[in-house]
């Protein structure tokens, strides 16, 4: 993901110009329309009682398992090993699971990327999509230590946290599968490009959006940077414009459950995988701790985005549990 509103003015001008030429989900100044607080949607107590309980500690362990492979940089052995692990997990947990693999020439090298897809009720036309990116950034270009900027990011929060929540959701869905179609999609190549190389971000989601394997989802929820122990989730502007109903419902679920990580107010805009889905006319939202992006948070501990410090120490099982439970309830009451 890349910051939009929070980037300096000269970058905004450059980015807006490139966006108009490339028509891709690159860094850009986002519109920031006024938003309303979520309206309470009627959900019966019986429906809530039947929703499985998300296991935050199990999700935390799944973050650790991904980190044990090392940085999941496309074109590396660690990337292949983690890909095989994630595919194996989804094959056990979903009705069908497969790789959506493709090659692209990036910086003079042919690299194979693989979106990892698992689905429930694949023939259903009423579909909800849950997604995250599973790759690691090849470089830590925001690291305060110049000696570390060429090292790959561990990507505990920027990648592994969202994937872990989706895998744990898959465990719950396997136990009790709703009647609707559900797609779990792990995007590759989200974070590959150099900072100003706009065309080499969101590689997997761009490919997926042009090659949908099932009926077009009615709603998509992207999870990115969702595991920090002091996370704050606000309305992302392009998400609100695209899928206000999903924003309202998920933030209402969080409020009813007393999850203070979710703030019912507008946050900064960000360019991310959800932009590729929005361009494909899929109503989409991005649940993201956006103040991590660009290291704008005032808390020194939270200035680890795109650095070698994006490690397990920043992750909380409680945060993972809150996000996972909200998304589970959203799916089960869709």
- Domain segments of the chain: what residues? 2-332
Residue matched to tokens 């924003």: 247
The answer to whether the beta carbons of residues 127 and 215 sit under 8 Å apart is: yes
Residue with more model confidence, 121 or 43: 121
Q: Are 4 and 271 in contact (CB under 8 A)?
A: yes
Comparing CA positions, the residue from 181, 196, 71 lying closest to residue 135 is 71
Residues 6+ apart with CB under 8 A from 129: 182, 183, 184, 185, 217, 219, 220, 221, 277, 282
Using one digit for the tens of pLDDT, what is the confidence trace for 290-309?
Answer: 999 999 899 999 999 999 99
Q: Give pLDDT, residue 35.
A: 46
Mean pLDDT, rounded, for 202-221:
98
CB-neighbour burial class of residue 180 (10 A; exposed 0-12, middle 13-18, buried 19+): middle
Question: What's the confidence (pLDDT) of residue 178?
Answer: 96
Neighbour-count burial for 119-145, b at 16+ CB within 10 Å, e otherwise: bbbbebeebbbbbbbbbbbbbbebbee
CATH superfamily ID and name for 2-332: Zn peptidases (3.40.630.10)
Evaluate whether 94 touches 184 at the Cβ level (below 8 Å): yes
Is residue 231 within 8 A of residue 289, CB to CB? The reply is: yes
CA dist 100 and 185 (Å) reads 10
pLDDT at 12: 35
Task: Kindly report the pTM of this predicted structure.
Answer: 0.88
Q: How far is CA 151 from CA 10, 25, 105, 185, in A?
A: 28, 26, 21, 27
28 pLDDT above the threshold of 50? no
In which band, very low, low, confident or very high, does the pLDDT at 7 lie, cut at 50, 70 and 90?
Answer: very low
* CA 264, chain centre distance (Å): 19
Whole-angstrom Cα distance, residue 170 to residue 119? 9
29 to each of 5, 164, 184, 269, 321, how far by Cα in Å? 5, 30, 29, 7, 32
pLDDT at 1: 73
Average pLDDT, integer, range 121-125: 97
Query: Above 70 in pLDDT, residue 6?
Result: no
Q: What is the structure's pLDDT at 47? A: 59
Q: Is the pLDDT of residue 141 over 60?
A: yes
Give the per-residue pLDDT at 3.
72
Share of the chain above pLDDT 70, in %: 86
Residue-wise pLDDT for 40-89, tens only, equals 445 555 456 689 999 999 999 999 999 999 999 999 999 999 999 999 99
Question: CB of 184 within 8 A of CB of 130?
Answer: yes
Flag whether pLDDT at 36 surpasses 90: no
Cα–Cα distance between 244 and 251 in angstroms, integer?
A: 11
179: pLDDT strictly greater than 90 = yes
Average pLDDT over residues 263-278: 96
**Is the pLDDT assigned to residue 27 strictly greater than 50?**
no
- Does 279 have pLDDT greater than 70? yes
What is the spatial distance between Cα 46 and Cα 38, in angstroms, rounded to a whole number? 22
Contact 47, 261 (CB under 8 A): no
């Amino acid at each position: 993901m890349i910051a939009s509103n929070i980037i300096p003015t000269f970058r905004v001008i450059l980015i807006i110009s490139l966006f108009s030429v490339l028509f891709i989900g690159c860094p850009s100044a986002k519109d920031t329309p006024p938003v309303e607080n979520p309206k309470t949607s009627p959900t019966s107590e019986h429906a809530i009682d039947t929703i499985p309980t998300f296991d935050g500690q199990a999700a935390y362990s799944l973050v650790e398992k991904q980190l044990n492979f090392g940085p999941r940089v496309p074109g590396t052995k660690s990337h292949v090993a983690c890909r095989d692990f994630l595919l194996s997990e989804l094959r056990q947990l979903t009705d069908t699971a497969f790789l959506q693999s493709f090659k692209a020439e990036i910086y003079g090298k042919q690299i194979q990327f693989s979106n990892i897809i698992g689905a429930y009720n694949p023939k259903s036309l009423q579909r909800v999509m849950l997604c995250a990116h599973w790759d690691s950034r090849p470089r830590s270009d925001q690291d305060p230590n110049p000696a570390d900027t060429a090292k790959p990011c561990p990507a505990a929060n920027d990648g592994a946290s969202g994937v872990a929540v989706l895998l744990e959701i898959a465990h719950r869905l396997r136990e009790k599968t709703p009647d609707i179609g559900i797609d779990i999609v792990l995007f590759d190549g989200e974070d590959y490009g150099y900072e100003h190389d706009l065309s080499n971000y969101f590689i997997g989601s761009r490919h997926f959006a042009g090659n949908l394997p099932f009926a077009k989802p009615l709603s998509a929820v992207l999870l990115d940077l969702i595991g920090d122990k002091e996370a704050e989730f606000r309305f992302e502007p392009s998400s609100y414009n695209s899928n206000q109903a999903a924003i309202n419902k998920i933030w209402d679920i969080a409020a009813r459950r007393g999850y203070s990580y979710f703030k019912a107010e507008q946050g900064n805009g960000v360019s991310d995988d959800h932009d590729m889905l929005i361009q494909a006319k899929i109503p989409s939202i991005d649940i993201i701790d956006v103040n991590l992006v660009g290291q704008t948070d005032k808390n020194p501990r939270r200035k680890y985005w795109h650095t070698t410090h994006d490690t397990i120490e920043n992750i909380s099982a409680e945060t993972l549990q809150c996000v996972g439970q909200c998304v589970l309830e959203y799916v089960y009451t869709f």
